Every structure is written in structure tokens, then in C-alpha cells.
Structure 1
Amino acid sequence: MKCNFHTMLQTNTSLSKLVSLVLLSTILLASTAHATQGQATIKIYTEHLPPYNYLEDGEFTGYSTEILKAMLKEAGLNSSFTMLPWGRAYLSASTEPSSLLYTTTRTPEREAYFEWIGPIGPRKMRLFKLKERRDIQIKSEADLRKYRVGIVRDTSAIKLVVERGLFSKQQIDEAPTTTSNMKKLFFRRIDFILATSGGARYELEHLPYRLEDIEPIYTLDEDFQFYFAVNKSTDAVTVNKLKAAFEKIKATGLLEILRKKYSVD
């Protein structure tokens, strides 16, 4: 009986240890799963497009960036920001799950490829020329076809001006950024640049030229607006969190405050 008692005691002790280990393992697995979910990251892709999105002292900033950061904080989402030329940023966001692209124009051609959050604001694009270029006379849209225009590569604006007959593809000088186009304008390699007023103002503040040296000569239509575009494969919970966060941020009046801060029209 003594031997049997000790055997039973050892068996019960081993069983208790086994149960404890199983319970501990279950708790650890649940904790790990919860931590992994909490660490889920949405990949943010953008381009250099001041005053909407740009780098300043190594930090992502700008009108749209501040809105997005407020949304991410409200939604409790982690993120990683990457700045690329527009074509690469668009390709990355359109092919990678759990990714977001900004600032982008919502067009019929792009509609089916993203979940859209916004609008952030109107897309008011203008043609600018050097004020001293008195040889450039625009009395009708047909006159635009006499000149060369600089537009950022792979943007919807190129398709828009060609479809509207404002410029032919041969007249368009494609560049990676508005900064490149602005320099070409002052070097007289092109006759116009296509930009927002805020974008033109920002570029000239960071180049050895003055805002007074250029003038708008034509405004494209304002049928389209700027949005945040989320990859279609992103889980619905994340998308809904972002949409709800945007509406909450918008209701606080933050967008109006930032429009004034960044001179966005």
C-alpha cells in the first residue's frame, strides 16, 4: 500500500504539472496572438507633393499627412510611411494588401482598385507661366497647343489634359516631381507647369525664385477631389476604422484649420 500510495501521489503530481503547463501554454499563445494583432501595421505610400505630403527634417508632414496621422491615432493603427516617385508609390499601394496611398485623385478609372476615404479637399490644378514671358498669349484653349507643359510623371493629370485636348502627348514634358518642373520653367525648357497654388508656393519658398515671378494662366476643371486610397485586399475592420476616424477628425474642424495652415485652396 505504501508503494501504491507514493505511485499515486507521483502520478497526480505529474498530472497537475501537465495541466499547468497546458494552461500556461494556452495563455501564452493567446497573449502572443493578441500582441501580433496589436502590432499589425498598415503600409503608407506617398510622393513628394507639397503642401499635401512631403518630408521636412526627415519627418513626414503636410496637409494630408497631418490628417492621416490623426486618423491613424484615432483608429489605433500602427503604420510605416514610405516616400517614392508617384508611379512606384501607386504600384506598391495597388498591389500590396494592408496598404494606403495618398494624396491621390479619385477618378472613374481608379474607382474599382481602392477603398476610398475622403474627400480630403478639392483638386484645383492650374497652369503657371513666367510672368516675364510676354510672348505667351492665351486667348483660347487652342492657344495652349502652341506650347510645352511640365507635368509630374504617371499622374492622372496627364490623361486629363490629353483627353480634353489641351495638350498632345508630344507637348508634355514628364518629370518626377514638381520641383523638377519648376526648375525647368525658370530655365525656359518648358513654357508652363501644372501645379496647385499651394504646391507652387511651397516650391518657390525652397528655390531661389519668387512667387511674384510666376502667374496662373489657366485653371483645369474641379470635377475631381483628393482622397486617401486603401488597397482592396485590406481587411474590412481596418478600412472601417480608418473611415470612422476620418469622419470623427473631420467633425472636429481639423481639416479647415490645416487648410489655413498649409494655404490649401
Structure 2
Amino acid sequence: MSLGEIDSSQSAANQIWVLTHLEPPFSLYDERGNPSGYAVELVKGILTEAGLRQQILAAPWQRILVESELKADVLVFSLARTAEREDNFHWISPITQNAYAVFGRKSLLHNSKISNLEQMPAHSRIAVLAKDFREQVIIDAGHIAVTSSTWQGVLQKFLAGEVDYLFFSDGGIDIICLTIDEPCTDITRVFQYQLATTYLAVSKHGTSAQLVEKLKSAALAFKGSTQYQAMVEHWLTEFKQLNMPKMHEEDGIIKLRAQKNG
């Protein structure tokens, strides 16, 4: 079922909407066409703990953000928690943490000492996911955001030389490079923008405090369960088999980087 196929009778019967943007391997369609992946299983576990059994629907970020702005009781994941979004959502539970960074080509940088967006050449063309918060960051810094509706499309624009830079993440590079045919050996990090955490969040407008507290309590309870630990071990094994050995779980968050020693 896609978001656009929900009619008025369905929405009346299901007051809570649960929406995700597909971002493999954390949320993707399985062989039956249903949302699957680590983040999907985590949210299902939290919903079950809360006594809620709602269908998870996939949609583009633009549609998800519009729905969450206009309607009450819209659960969204995995949503980056940013200063701009802080007051627009109730933040239920963290899901992943990643280092957002700007990338360039090793063959073209020649010992560049760029350390932030302001130091980049004026009007740089930067590839980014459409409607991702980083698109506005690029525009606000005076650069040109070149977008695609999927991260695969974003990366391919960069590899094809259509842009100067790529605004992505360390973990994202590792994941998406496994899904395309082109080599990623010439990609290098220029500078880290920020360490960002994604969340299960719920729309603020009209959502009851009772639902928010129920979801937060359910998230804590589920993440403290043996079921959660088994789920994490299963997915970390899956990630390693996909050549993503850096991922680890800490404090209820899947971190897309190497674990610190000591």
C-alpha cells in the first residue's frame, strides 16, 4: 500500500499514521513489497510494546513532512533531529547516528584545506537528497543544491561529474556504494559538518501528551528487552555481511562508525 492509496475511510479507522522514507538497509521493501529493515523492526517493536498495531507506509520526505505538519498523530522515522525541526516534533527515541560530511574527489582536491561550507568556492554545486535538511543548508550558505529523489541518484550525479561536491555521510557512502555499479574509490571526505542522530518522532500539532508518553515509555521498555538485543545482534550480523563492519550499537542507537576503544 502506498500513502496515496489511503482513502478517507481508512484514515478515519486508523488515527495514527506511521511513515518512513526508504533508506536501505534500515528501511526498504522486502520481497513481498512490505517495508522491512532494522529501523522498521525497531519501530514495530515499539508500537507493539505501546499496544499499537499500525501499518508502516513508505513515502518521499516531502510528503512525509507535509503530512506531519498538517496532521496529529503522525509517526515519522528515521528523521534527523536538527535545530530547525526541534520544535516541530516530539522526539520519541533515537535510531541511528552518523557523521554528516561534505565529500569531494581525491583526484581534484590537491591538499584542499576547506573545513566548512563558507570556505568552499563560491556557488559550488553540491549533490544532496531532495528535501533533506542539508538541501537548505547548502542554499543558506550560498551554494547550489543539485538534488535527486534517491541517494543512489545523488551519488551517481557526483560520480558522473555533474557536481563539485557531495553532502552525504560516512555510513551512507559505505552503504550506497554497495548498491551501484560504479567504483567509489575516488571519493574522500573534505570536512565533517556535524554528528547527527535520527529519531522516531511524532508530529506536534494536535498530538496528545498521553500518546507521546506512551510511545516514549514503550521505546524505553522495548530497548531494554531481550527481544531488542536479539534484533540488534541479527542486524549487526547482516550489516557485517554487507561489508559494513563499522556499525555498532551503543545506548540504544546504531552508530555508523567504528567503535571507540576504551
Q: TM-score, normalised by structure 1?
A: 0.72
Displacement of 1:235 = 3.4
- Would you say 1:158 and 2:128 are equivalent positions? no
Map of 1:16 onto structure 2: none
Map of 1:117 onto structure 2: 92
- Would you say 1:243 and 2:216 are equivalent positions? yes
* Structure 2 counterpart of 1:230, one-letter code: V
Please point out which of 121, 127, 147 is paired with 1:145: 121
Instruction: Kindly indicate whether the alpha-carbon contact (under 8 Å) linking 1:41 and 1:77 is maintained by their aligned counterparts in 2.
Output: no
Partner-residue secondary structure (3-state), 1:205 = coil
Q: Provide closer, same or farther for how the CA distance between residues 85 and 120 of structure 1 changes in structure 2, counting only shifts above 3 A.
A: same
- Would you say 1:227 and 2:199 are equivalent positions? yes
Displacement of 1:90 = 1.0
Greater alpha carbon shift after TM alignment, 85-94 vs 141-150:
141-150
Please point out which of 155, 164, 168 is paired with 1:195: 168
Map of 1:59 onto structure 2: 34
Cα distance in 1, alignment partners of residues 53 and 62 from structure 2: 25
Partner-residue secondary structure (3-state), 1:134 = helix
Displacement of 1:137 = 4.7
Instruction: Kindly indicate whether the alpha-carbon contact (under 8 Å) linking 1:96 and 1:231 is maintained by their aligned counterparts in 2.
Output: yes
Q: Provide closer, same or farther for how the CA distance between residues 201 and 111 of structure 1 changes in structure 2, counting only shifts above 3 A.
A: same
Q: Provide closer, same or farther for how the CA distance between residues 215 and 135 of structure 1 changes in structure 2, counting only shifts above 3 A.
A: closer
Q: Provide closer, same or farther for how the CA distance between residues 105 and 135 of structure 1 changes in structure 2, counting only shifts above 3 A.
A: closer
Cα distance in 2, alignment partners of residues 260 and 138 from structure 1: 37
Greater alpha carbon shift after TM alignment, 103-112 vs 186-195:
103-112
Instruction: Kindly indicate whether the alpha-carbon contact (under 8 Å) linking 2:80 and 2:197 is maintained by their aligned counterparts in 1.
Output: yes
Instruction: Kindly indicate whether the alpha-carbon contact (under 8 Å) linking 2:28 and 2:37 is maintained by their aligned counterparts in 1.
Output: yes
Instruction: Kindly indicate whether the alpha-carbon contact (under 8 Å) linking 1:51 and 1:198 is maintained by their aligned counterparts in 2.
Output: no
Instruction: Kindly indicate whether the alpha-carbon contact (under 8 Å) linking 1:129 and 1:191 is maintained by their aligned counterparts in 2.
Output: yes
- Would you say 1:48 and 2:22 are equivalent positions? yes
Alignment of 1:66-85 (within 5 A): 66-85=41-60
Cα distance in 2, alignment partners of residues 197 and 61 from structure 1: 23
Instruction: Kindly indicate whether the alpha-carbon contact (under 8 Å) linking 2:79 and 2:201 is maintained by their aligned counterparts in 1.
Output: yes
Which of these two proteins has the greater Rg computed from alpha carbons?
A: 1
Q: How many residues align?
A: 221
Partner-residue secondary structure (3-state), 1:173 = strand
Displacement of 1:100 = 0.8
Aligned-residue Cα RMSD (Å) equals 2.7
Cα distance in 2, alignment partners of residues 49 and 79 from structure 1: 20
Displacement of 1:162 = 5.0
Partner-residue secondary structure (3-state), 1:138 = coil
**Stretches (4+) displaced over 6 A:** none
Cα distance in 2, alignment partners of residues 140 and 203 from structure 1: 25
Displacement of 1:259 = 5.7
Partner-residue secondary structure (3-state), 2:199 = strand
Percent identical across equivalent pairs?
Answer: 23
